[in-house]
């Protein structure tokens, strides 16, 4: 069922009324539509989301460890930041400093 011109109708009727011819797929084309790419993409994105959550938890743990041990945050400061080659390193350093110093 689809909404076509404000009315809910069966999809094949809406396609016919819109003048869109019926789609005939070959065996390989039909298989390509259902071969699991969307499922694989969804699973990969869930893994990515979980990884980001773990990275944030690790940063919070590092900040707590620095704060409770009284360790210096100097290695995470902006001057040292300029020597970091990867933008992710700068992001983590900034997040740690923000967590420790508010």
Which sequence spans correspond to the domains of the chain? Answer: 1-35, 51-102
pLDDT score for 13: 92
pLDDT of residue 61: 96
Task: Spell 24-44 as b/e; 16+ CB within 10 A means b.
Answer: eeeeeeeeeeeeeeeeeeeee
For residue 25, pLDDT beyond 90: no
CB neighbours (10 Å) of residue 8? 9
- Tell how many helices (H) and how many strands (E) occur in the chain: 5, 2
Asked if residue 81 has pLDDT above 70, the reply is: no
Report whether pLDDT(10) > 90. yes
Q: What is the pLDDT of residue 32?
A: 76
């Amino acid at each position: 069922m689809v909404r076509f011109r404000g009315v809910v109708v069966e999809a094949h009727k809406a396609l016919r009324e819109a003048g869109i011819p019926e789609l005939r797929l070959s065996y390989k084309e039909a298989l390509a539509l259902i071969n699991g790419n969307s499922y694989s993409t969804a699973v990969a994105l869930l893994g990515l989301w979980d990884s980001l959550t773990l990275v944030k938890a690790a940063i919070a743990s590092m900040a707590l460890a620095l704060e409770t041990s009284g360790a210096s945050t100097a290695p995470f400061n902006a001057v040292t930041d300029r020597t970091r080659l990867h933008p992710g390193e700068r992001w983590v350093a900034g997040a740690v400093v923000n967590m420790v110093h508010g």
